[in-house]
Amino acid sequence: MPTTTRRPRPQHVLTVESTERLGPRLVRVVLTGEALADFGAEEFTDAYVKLLFVSPELGVEPPYDLAALRESAPAELQPLTRTYTVRAIDREARRLTLDFVTHGDTGWAGPWAQSARPGDRAVLMGPGGGYAPDPDVDWHLLAGDLSAVPAIAAALEALPSEAKGVALLEVEAESDVLEVTAPDGVQVSWLVNPDTDDVDFLARAIDAAPWPTDVSEGAVQVFAHGERESIKAVRRSLKEREIPRAAISISGYWARGRTEEAFQAEKRTPVGRIGD
C-alpha cells in the first residue's frame, strides 16, 4: 500500500513591529510582513497560528526544513511549536496581532513575547480556524478564560449591531480585565476566579446566564474554549441544557500542568477528550 507524504505547512516569516503589556498576564505582539498578504482564514474569528521556536544553536535560517531538523537535532534542541489565537489581522497593512498569556519565565512563547523587541523575527505556520458568529442566530453565548479572550473579542467585534447574547470571561484577578467592544445587546461579564483549582467555575456561570427559552438549532450559538478540565465541565452543562451539538464550538486550548507537547498528545486519549 503506497504511503502518502504530508505536505509541509507553509511558514510565514514575520517581524515584530511593537509589543504592549495589556495586564499582568497578557502581552500583545504586533507582527508585520509581506507573507500576510495571503494569510487566509478570512471567514473565522477564532483563527489560530502555530509559532515555531528553533534554537539559534542549530545555525539554520527560516523557512525551516522541520522534517530534517527533527531527524538531525538532538533531543534538547528539537524545534517546538506553540499555538495562539489571532487577535486581529489586517491583510492590507500586513499586520498580525497576537495576545500572549504569560506565566513569568515559564514556557517558551510567553517569555519570548515579554522580551520581544521591534525588528525581532518570528516564524509561524497557519492559519487554521473553525468558528465565526452566525449573524442570523437569535442569541449567542461566548465563554472562556484569558486564553480565549482574543477569539471572543474578535467574535464580539464581528457580531451585527442588533445581536443579543452573553460573553462570560473568566480571569484570575481584576487586573486581568480588558476593555472589549460588543453590541449593546450582548452582556459582557468579567468573572474573577482566584481559585485555579475550581474547574466548575465557568460552568456555574453559564448555568446562571439568562438563557432564552428556545435553544433549538438556529436559535442559539455557543463558543466555549479555555482550560481543558473547565471546558469539560462546560460541555456537561451544555448537554444538560440539550443545546444542539451543531450549535457549539468547544475545545480545550490548554491543560493545567501540561506542556503543549503533552497536551496535544493527550487529545487522542480519553483524558484529552472534551466530550460529544
How wide is the angle at C-alpha 223 spanned by C-alphas 104 and 158, nearest 5°? 95
State the pLDDT at residue 264: 79
Considering the domain 139-272, what is its CATH architecture? 3-Layer(aba) Sandwich (3.40)
What is d(CA 36, CA 96) in angstroms, rounded to the nearest whole number?
8
Domain ranges for the chain? 11-128, 139-272
State the pLDDT at residue 7: 58
11-128 is classed CATH 2.40.30.10? yes
**CA distances in angstroms from 162 to 137, 157, 171, 185, 239, listed in the order given:** 11, 12, 27, 7, 28
Q: What is the pLDDT along the chain (276 residues), one digit of tens a residue?
A: 444 445 567 899 999 999 999 999 999 999 999 999 889 889 999 999 999 999 989 999 999 999 999 999 999 999 999 999 999 999 999 999 999 999 877 778 999 999 999 999 999 999 999 999 999 999 999 999 999 999 999 999 999 999 999 999 999 999 999 999 999 999 999 999 999 889 999 999 999 999 999 999 899 999 999 999 999 999 999 999 999 999 999 999 988 888 787 777 878 888 888 877
**CA distances in angstroms from 155 to 91, 146, 180, listed in the order given:** 18, 15, 11
Q: Torsion-angle region of residue 218: left (phi > 0), alpha (psi -120 to 50) or beta?
A: left
pTM confidence score:
0.92
State the pLDDT at residue 183: 98
